[in-house]
Structure 1
Amino acid sequence: MLKLYNTLTRKKENFVPLQPPLVTMYVCGPTVYNFAHIGNLRTYVFVDLLRRVLEYNGFQIRQVENITDVGHLTSDADSGEDKLEKGAQREKKTVWEIAQFYTTAFQKDMADLNIKEPTIWCKATDHIQLMIALVLELERKGLTYRIAGDGIYFDTSKVKDYGKLAKLDIEGLKKGERITFNPQKRHPTDFALWKFAPEGEKRQMEWSSPWGEHTFPGWHLECSAMSMKYLSQVFDEKGNFCPQKFETIDIHTGGVDHIQVHHTNEIAQSEAATGKQFVKYWLHGEFLLISQGRMGKSEGNFITLETLKERNFDPLAYRYFLLNAHYRTQLNFTWEALEGAAIAYKNLQKEVSLLGEETGEADKKSILEFKKRINNDLNLPQALAWLWEILRSEAIPAVKKATVLEMDQVLGLRLDSVKPFMIPEKIRQLAEMRERARQEKDFKTADELREEIKNLGYEIEDTREGYQILPL
């Protein structure tokens, strides 16, 4: 039985989807105003591992991932500049050009890390009318209020269990402690559903809405509308909101930084609109740290995947690095640690290449143990350790290979693309010449031939049974 840690309940639970074998899953995607850094990408590797584990357990995944291309302000709450507009000013491009450029860059990073594409990509700017319909429903239920010159806000005091995901102490929450407090808001936790462009400011991304001509959606609203659109039947063909048709989503994922504000607000507005549980299982990936501090664009200390490639690191070496830590534990990035992971990944490829061309049947007991580890809340560090135990075992090479390749369906290290080790004829001839020299006790010639073989990328290992030729 697959067990997953549910942030909502703060415990591991047996995973039981609502309509098996189908699993509906929503992934908070990137805000495309800059390159994703490797800390961001850690979250998407975690999501990919989750999906692969689900598929390995026989589930069929309908995964939706958004592209936030409007509405995400420099504060994760409701203040500051729109990150896309700010990016356009920085690079002297249109907002639309910025969004497309960084969406393409993000999707390339996903491919380099062997992250499976979602079933559906969805851009916020393609779903404005659905977002308006959702706000109108909340407005109809008396859950909103207007702040002149600012926007339409959600009244969190009207939701009895507001903050249940983050375990917020609403009564004890001081103004400004969680987010910058706007004195016009009725309560510190109230949040913007729809924003008005500041007077005198011309935004590149703005829409006419029931609340004005120069308006745009709030960040939290976008994910609720798009997840319900593609993972439920809550919008009809004309885009009308039909709350009675909503079906609870199985899984929602993101980084731990989303728990306190973004995901908390998604739950509040979605459950208020539909009257039903929004999501059954909430899963969150921990931070990647650098110098023991959070990596982030606002902190100015972020490293991109392109930076790793420029330093001649295989992106899959970074994926291997991430496999060594559980997704719910913080992981500190250092170049030395990445170098160690790169060496280990190269050694893994070498071990697989030495298993030869033949592939047999995977060892059932080994696979059961592997499945036990991954089904314990995605314990990939233990699963990776088990793979190495298989490689070091006395099993037949063809069985080892089949077992390891089956495990890699989850690990995603592209071990199936590793070519079997083939010894070039020239190397074989040099090795035979060296062996004859040794037998004739011509050790000087033998040593020279060994060095020549080494310079060609191979090494000779002498054993009791004879010699072995191995790649360096």
Structure 2
Amino acid sequence: MSFHLYDSLRREIVEFQPLRPGRVSIYVCGPTVQGAPHLGHMRSRVNFDVLRRWLEFTGHAVTLVSNVTDIDDKILAKAAEAGHQWWAHAYRYEQAFGAAFRSLGVPATYEPRATGHVPEMIELIGELIERGHAYQIEGTADVYFDVASWPAYGELTGQRADDLEPAEGEDSRGKRDPRDFALWKSHKPSEPRTASWLSPWGRGRPGWHIECSAMAGKYLGETFDIHGGGLDLRFPHHENEQAQSRAAGRGFARHWMHHAWVTMAGEKMSKSLGNTADVAAAVAKHGGRAVRLWLAGPHYRSAIELSEASLAEAAAQLARIDSFLQRAAAAGPDLPFGHAARLPQEFSAAMNNDLGTPTALAVLFGTVKEGNLALEAGDLEAVRAAQAAVGMMLRVFGLDPASPEWADAAAGDDLKPVVDGLVGALLEQRAQARARKDWPAADAVRDTLNKLGLKVDDTPNGPRWSLEA
């Protein structure tokens, strides 16, 4: 299969060829653990998890690394506000992000912490100084990247270095150029000593951008396949990552993929704007699979507008899929072993075309519809073909209810035997009413179940109930 993606560096659709045949390496910028996760944070990991699953489905072994930024100006400030140790504050929210990721079934191969990789950062900074691309400000431990020394600066975002402004909040004192960015920051007396490390330039801590370059290099090598993240990271973070890595002689990312934002009222979801949506609350109300479907359904380069209606619609779509699978499983005996399971060609074509999830989902829903029609017609072979295809597509999207990542959610189905028993008792009452030809009583039971959102199908093997979409 030939996979095409939109490369943010080239600003065009390109054919993706892995650096190493059969193996794909992906680095995704992870969270800065200053506060609780929101749905905007989750989009990145869901989108790139779908990419990982599709590449694995097509025969590649994928390594996906997503970092945890656990030392940062914002973390120090937030911890001081709350009266907590900075490292305890960061760990608390790292755990919250981990729980949120698990609730949406999005693992990474590895999640390195910035604080665990300071030696690698110091080594990379030293290489940049040796090559003439970084300098230390006299009398301090501050080290900056020299933007003017790297003519390709601005290449990722398509900007000329001369037109760029320094990042907001950057201290310009002592810098050769206002655009130069921090690689190493001097320890300040107002900051905890625990938030600093010894270096050849003095006690201090790393700048944000150097963290990702060092961690990506350690685990994926000097050159790797794909670097991903949100559009808001393109400048200055990703631009600076690319500049410092390549200035140090590393190939760094061969392709860049950036996803659009989750928005509320047209604005990017962010803590600073106050327009966040709690992950745990959304999962508790709609279920992790439904939230994941809502995040994965739109094309990754399209913005997603958050609303209660959109989450509810995702839950309803998932209920329709699950209802078909339940009815198909109860339709009769399985076909003989070896019955071919085929992934629809249109689904593969959509996924290979820059991860075209909207078209792929349309194929999934169409296959569910075909399966339901086959159920009504009693065509078991067509039912089994649709059932197998739907299962394969759900696995690509990370939505297969039988997959291990949803085991915890399934464990929450402790009430299912109770529900099964209650519904079964009502269906038995209905069967007794039908047996004595008390049609009003039988219809009353059916109507009660319908009002509760349940659908009853009379099959040759007895009545079956399912969630009604």
Give the TM-score taking structure 2 as reference length.
Answer: 0.85
Quick one: structure 1 residues 207 and 200, their matched pair in 2 at CA, closer, same or farther if it must change by over 3 Å?
same
Check whether the contact 1:359–1:401 (CA below 8 A) recurs between aligned residues. Answer: no
CA distance in 2, matches of 1:83, 1:434: 67
**Residues 455 and 179 of structure 1, relative CA distance in 2, 3 Å threshold:** closer
- 2: CA distance between counterparts of 1:456 and 1:319? 25
Q: Distance in 2 between matches of 1:471 and 1:53?
A: 30
Structure 2: gaps spanning 5 or more residues: 375-381, 404-409, 411-415
Q: Which amino acid aligns with 1:315?
A: G
Would you say how many aligned residue pairs link Structure 1 and Structure 2? 439
Question: Conserved in 1, the CA contact under 8 Å of 2:103 and 2:283?
Answer: no
Instruction: In structure 1, give the amino acid aligned to 2:210.
Output: L
Q: What is the aligned partner in structure 1 of residue 265 from structure 2? A: 291
Distance across 2 between alignment mates of 1:111 and 1:48: 12
- Residues in 2 aligned to 1:359 and 1:267: alpha-carbon distance in whole angstroms: 53
The question of whether the paired residues in 1 share the 8 Å contact of 2:150 and 2:243 is answered with: yes
- In the alignment, what sits opposite 1:380? 357
Q: Give the 5 Å matches for 1:133-172.
A: 133-148=123-138, 149=140, 151-172=142-163
Instruction: Describe the SS at the equivalent of 1:35.
Output: coil
C-alpha displacement of 1:321: 1.1
Residue 246 of structure 2 corresponds to residue 271 of structure 1: yes
In structure 2, C-alpha distance between the alignment counterparts of 1:466 and 1:60, rounded to whole Å: 44
- In 2 relative to 1, CA 369–416 (structure 1 residues): closer, same or farther, beyond 3 Å? farther
Q: What is residue 243 of structure 1 aligned with on the other side?
A: none
Q: Secondary structure at the match of 2:162?
A: coil
Paired residue secondary structure (1:122): coil
Backbone CA RMSD of aligned residues = 2.9
User: Which residue of structure 2 lines up, in the alignment, with residue 78 of structure 1?
Assistant: none
Q: Distance in 2 between matches of 1:91 and 1:62?
A: 37
Report if aligned partners of 2:28, 2:229 keep a CA contact under 8 Å in 1: yes
Question: Which of 290, 307, 314 lines up with 1:334 in the alignment?
Answer: 307
Structure 1 416/147 Cα, relative in aligned 2: closer, same or farther at 3 Å?
same
Amino acid at match of 1:90: E
- CA deviation map 1:383-413 (0-9, x unaligned): 1111111111145222222111111121111
| CA contact 2:341–2:385 (8 Å) conserved in 1 | no
Letter in 2 for 1:84: I
Change (3 A) 1:142 1:251: same
Aligned position for 2:345: 368
Which has the larger helix fraction?
Answer: 2
Question: What SS does the corresponding residue of 1:209 show, helix, strand or coil?
Answer: coil
Aligned to 2:431: 432
Counterpart code for 1:404: V
2:461 aligned with 1:471: no
Aligned residue for 1:5, secondary structure, equals strand
CA offset digits 1:216-268 (Å, max 9, x no partner): 01111011111111112xxxxxxxxxxxxx4x211111111111111111111
Matches within 5 A, 1:216-365: 216-232=205-221, 246=222, 248-274=223-249, 276-310=250-284, 312-356=285-329
Q: What is the identity, as a one-letter code, of the residue corresponding to 1:5?
A: Y
Q: What's 1:390 paired with? A: 367
Cα deviation, residue 434, structure 1:
4.3
CA contact 1:137–1:273 (8 Å) conserved in 2? yes
Query: 451-460 vs 150-159, which deviates more?
Result: 451-460
The aligned residue for residue 17 of structure 1 is 18
Partner of 1:402: 388
Give me the whole-angstrom Cα distance separating, in 2, the residues matched to 1:365 and 1:401. Answer: 10
Q: Residues 45, 317 of structure 1: CA spacing in aligned structure 2 closer, same or farther, 3 A cutoff?
A: same
> 3-state DSSP class of the match of 2:54?
helix
| Equivalent residue letter for 1:29 | G
Q: Give CA-to-partner distance per residue, 1:191-240, whole Å, 9 cap, x none.
A: 11111123554443101111113x001111011111111112xxxxxxxx
Q: Structure 1 residues 249, 452: CA separation in 2 closer, same or farther (over 3 Å shift)?
A: closer
Q: Within 2, Cα distance between the matches of 1:178 and 1:141?
A: 27
What is the SS of the residue equivalent to 1:121?
Answer: coil
Secondary structure in 2 matching 1:26: strand
Counterparts of residues 144-223 of structure 1 (less than 5 Å): 144-148=134-138, 149=140, 151-173=142-164, 175=165, 182=172, 184-199=174-189, 201-213=191-203, 215-223=204-212
Matches of 1:466 and 1:141 in 2, distance apart?
76
CA contact (8 A) 1:352 1:415 kept: no
Residues 16-35 of structure 1 correspond to what in structure 2 (within 5 A)?
16-35=17-36
Give me the identity figure in percent.
34
Q: Distance in 1 between matches of 2:55 and 2:112?
A: 22
Query: By how many angstroms is 1:451 displaced?
Result: 4.0
1:66 alignment counterpart: 67
* CA deviation after TM superposition for structure 1 residue 6, in Å: 0.8
CA positional deviation for 1:335:
1.4
Code of the residue aligned with 1:316 in structure 2: it is R
Mapped contact 1:434–1:450 kept (Cα < 8 A): no
Report the TM-score when normalising by structure 1. 0.85
Partner of residue 111 from structure 2, selected from 114, 121, 145: 121
| CA displacement at 1:379 relative to structure 2 | 0.9
- Structure 1: 5+ residue stretches without partners: 73-81, 233-245
